[in-house]
Amino acid sequence: MAYKLLFVCLGNICRSPSAENIMNHLVSQAGLSDRIYCDSAGTSSYHIGSPSDRRMSAAAVSKLGIKLLGQARQFQTSDFQEFDLILAMDKDNYKNILAVDSSGQYHHKVRLICDFCSRHTLKEVPDPYYGGTEGFNQVIDLLIDACEGLLEYVNSV
C-alpha cells in the first residue's frame, strides 16, 4: 500500500503543485513510485480546474527540468482520511487545514513542509504569486530541499 502525501497551499497553482511534482520527480528517481503517492490541493476555491501558474512552471523547467502536471482542486474533509501526511506551505494554510478538522482527530497528520528542510532556515514557503521571477526560483529551491528531507522521512516510517 502506498504512503500518500498531500501538499497544500492557498490556490493550488504555485507552491503545492510544485511540491507535488518535485516530490514525484524525486520519488521516481529513487524508484519508489509504487510506494509513495503525491497530490496537491488549495485551501481556497479561486483556481479550481486551472493548470499551474505559467511563471511557476517556467521556474520548475529552468531549475529542475520538470513540467508541472495536474490541475487545481480545493482541499476537502475527505482528504484527512485519504492521506497519511498533509503538508502545508505556510502557517495560514496550516491553520486553515486544521480549522476543517473541528474534532482535532487528524491534526497529527498536518505538518509544515519546511519542517523537512535541511539547508534552508525559512519556516514557510513564501507565496510568489505577486512577485517576480526570483520568488518563483526561491520556491523551487526551498521545495527541493524540503522534498528531499520528506523523502528521507517517508522512507524511515
- What secondary structure, in 3-state letters, does 40-100 show? EEECCCCCCCCCCCHHHHHHHHHHHCCCCCCCCCECCCCHHHHCCEEEECCHHHHHHHHHH
pLDDT in tens, 38-87: 999 999 999 999 999 999 999 999 999 999 999 999 999 999 999 999 99
Residue 103 has pLDDT above 90, yes or no: yes
Tens digit of pLDDT for each residue in 26-35?
999 999 999 9
Set 9, 14, 114, 117: catalytic member:
9
Catalytic residue (one of 15, 90, 114, 117): 15
pLDDT surpasses 90 at 119: yes
User: Is the predicted pLDDT of residue 1 greater than 90, yes or no?
Assistant: no
User: What pLDDT is recorded for position 94?
Assistant: 98
Q: What is the mean pLDDT of residues 80-107?
A: 97
Is 127 noted as a catalytic residue in this protein?
A: yes
15 in active site: yes
**DSSP code at position 103:** T
Element (H, E) at 9: strand 3-9
What pLDDT score was predicted for residue 79?
A: 98
**In whole angstroms, what is the distance from residue 120 CA to residue 104 CA?**
30
The amino acid present at 61, given as its one-letter code, is V
In this prediction, residue 110 carries a pLDDT of 98
Mean pLDDT taken over the chain: 97
Out of 39, 79, 127, 145, which one is annotated catalytic? 127
> Which fold does the domain 3-156 belong to in CATH?
Rossmann fold (3.40.50)
